[in-house]
Structure formats: structure tokens, C-alpha cells
Chains A and B, each alone.
Chain A
Amino acid sequence: GAGVSQSPRYKVAKRGQDVALRCDPISGHVSLFWYQQALGQGPEFLTYFQNEAQLDKSGLPSDRFFAERPEGSVSTLKIQRTQQEDSAVYLCASSPTAGVHNEQFFGPGTRLTVL
């Protein structure tokens, strides 16, 4: 079956531009997570959705970051007025059950480079 997909795989943005990153989770998965991963580091939690409800957004680094999952399936992470420090790989993961106590299935990530 299909795994988690993300698009685009690579994005180059000029500083100040807005970007939108898409995540298609595994069909039927309840939980969806967004992470930011810098080179040589582990993923950093950004936000968590249980179906369409955003239950935790405490990891979003600033109010320039916004995420949504309006129908409980596809999710979009939006970054407004991008800055160079936003350059990273953005990973999306989904899980069949609620919460974090189950295996997460990761997408390939979107590598964002802000010039």
C-alpha cells in the first residue's frame, strides 16, 4: 500500500516568501505529526493532529508557522515570510492510533532552502 507522501520534495525560497508544504498520510491514520530536522540532528516536534483537531502546536517556532488538516487526512504546513533559519528538512509522520504510543510512519520529507 501507499506510504506517507510529501510534496514538494525540494523547495528553494527567497527570504520573505511564503511556502506551503503538503503531507498525504496513510489512509485511515488518526494521528499526524510535523517535525523539523536540521542536518545532523534528530527531528524536532512542531505540531500534532488527531484527525482534524490540532491538539498540540507548542513546537511551532513562531507565529509565522501555521498547520492545518481540515478534513482529517491531508495536512499543510505553511511558513510565512521565510527566514534563513527556517532552512531544514520538514518531516511528516502518521500513525494509526491516537497519541504518540505507536509506531510513526514517516514521509520522505521536504528539504527547504531559504536564500
Chain B
Amino acid sequence: GQNIDQPTEMTATEGAIVQINCTYQTSGFNGLFWYQQHAGEAPTFLSYNVLDGLEEKGRFSSFLSRSKGYSYLLLKELQMKDSASYLCAVTDSNYQLIWGAGTKLIIKP
């Protein structure tokens, strides 16, 4: 079956680093997305990984291991505005994304 697992909630301190993990088991795989969703708002794109390895984009980096069915999102120099849910999504076919339930990240001062 199709399954994407993420921790439900994480807490971190302003200025610190946090790693949000995502594991997936899907019938097909073409790539993995990370989106950020603030409460009551629409998801916004963070990253897209197709090949194994780490992609860095400012304070955010995303890693993919296709052989392990594993990805993580790394957030550095955390700011209060980073408090949001982080959604992992896998491209299972040409038209569908399979989404995880999201990880709610709480930033404390």
C-alpha cells in the first residue's frame, strides 16, 4: 500500500537547527516534495528532490535517499515565523501526489 510517515509534532528553540524526517512506501516514485503550511493558510513550495543527495536553499536543505525511502528537511537558524506544518509529498504517478499528514513544528523563544 501507499504510506508516508512523518512525526506528528516537534519543538525547537529559536536560532537552533531542526531535522524533520519523512519515510515513504509507495508503488511508484518520481520525486519528493516538501511544502510549508502555516495554520489556516495554503501550502507553499519548499523543495523538490528527484536524485539522491542534499539540496541546499538558504536556511532550508532537503535530503533524499531513494534506496532507503527516506528524506529529511533541515531548517537552520530557526525563526519564530518558521512555526508551521511541514508536509512531505511523493509523486506516485504522473498526476498524483501522495501526502504525509505533516509535522507541526513549534518554535520556542
Contact = CB atoms under 8 A, between A and B. Distances in A.
Interface residues of A, number: 25
A86 to B, nearest CB: 19
Question: Which interface residue of A33, A43, A48, A99 has the most chain B CB atoms within 10 A?
Answer: A43
Interface residues of B, number: 23
Given A41-B101, A41-B102, A101-B30, A55 B42 contact: no
Interface string B29-73: 011000000000111110010100000000000000000000000
B107 interface: no
B95 A101 contact: no
Contacts of A108: 41-42
Describe A's contact surface by its main secondary structure.
Answer: loop
A66 B1 CA distance: 26
Describe B's contact surface by its main secondary structure.
Answer: loop
B94 interface: yes
Contact of A55 (B44, B45, B95, B97): B95
A103 B44 CA distance: 9
B11 interface: no
Interface of B: 4, 30-31, 41-45, 48, 50, 87, 89, 91, 93-102
Given A42-B4, A100-B95, 11 more contacts: A33-B97, A43-B43, A43-B87, A91-B43, A101-B48, A102-B48, A103-B48, A104-B43, A104-B45, A106-B42, A106-B44
